Amino acid sequence: MLRMSTDVQLAMVSHCLEGLPEEACGLIAGDPALDAVLAWYPTENVARSARVYTVDPLAHLRADRDAESRGLQIVGVFHSHTHTDAYPSPTDVVQAPDPSWHYVIVSLRDVQPVVRSYRIVDGLVEEESVVIRTHVVQAS
């Protein structure tokens, strides 16, 4: 399960819509024990493509440092699918860098964006629930 606030979900979808006609992407951070998104980092898709994405490495480094300074860690990545369902493509599966990460996909194929999340381990894709709340509280 992945928890995120309404504000984070709306901001991610907005970033993805702004990226059209290309795929948009970014990173999510939180406390891995909570499976909660507590910060998000929009990044540039340096692949500049409507079919694939590549997170800007410098933006990834900055996001990692910012998350660490806030007591968080990068727990996943999000990106949009401009023409297909919110399901990992074969390229997404091959490029999944960390089996502990959440892989959030925002499908923009239809009028209403669809947000889904997955775990990808050894090439196996497993969908997880996405729980949207007014706010997500960090454990103290």
Dist. CA 73–CA 33, nearest whole Å: 11
Q: What is the mean pLDDT of residues 118-140?
A: 84
- Model pLDDT for residues 80-101, shown as the tens digit of each residue: 999 999 999 999 999 998 999 9
Q: What is the CATH number of domain 2-133?
A: 3.40.140.10
Q: Give the model's confidence band at 138: pLDDT under 50 very low, under 70 low, under 90 confident, else very high.
A: low
Mean pLDDT, all residues of the chain: 94
> Of 3, 2, 1, 5, whose CA–CA distance to 135 is shortest?
5
Q: What are the sequence ranges of the domains in the chain?
A: 2-133
Alpha carbons 24 and 41: distance in angstroms, whole number: 12
45: which DSSP letter?
Answer: B
The string of pLDDT tens digits covering residues 36-49 is: 999 999 999 999 99
Average pLDDT estimate for 125-133: 95
Distances (CA, A) of 136 to 41, 74, 87: 17, 16, 25
pTM strictly above 0.85:
yes
Q: How confident is the model at residue 134 (pLDDT cuts 50, 70, 90)?
A: confident
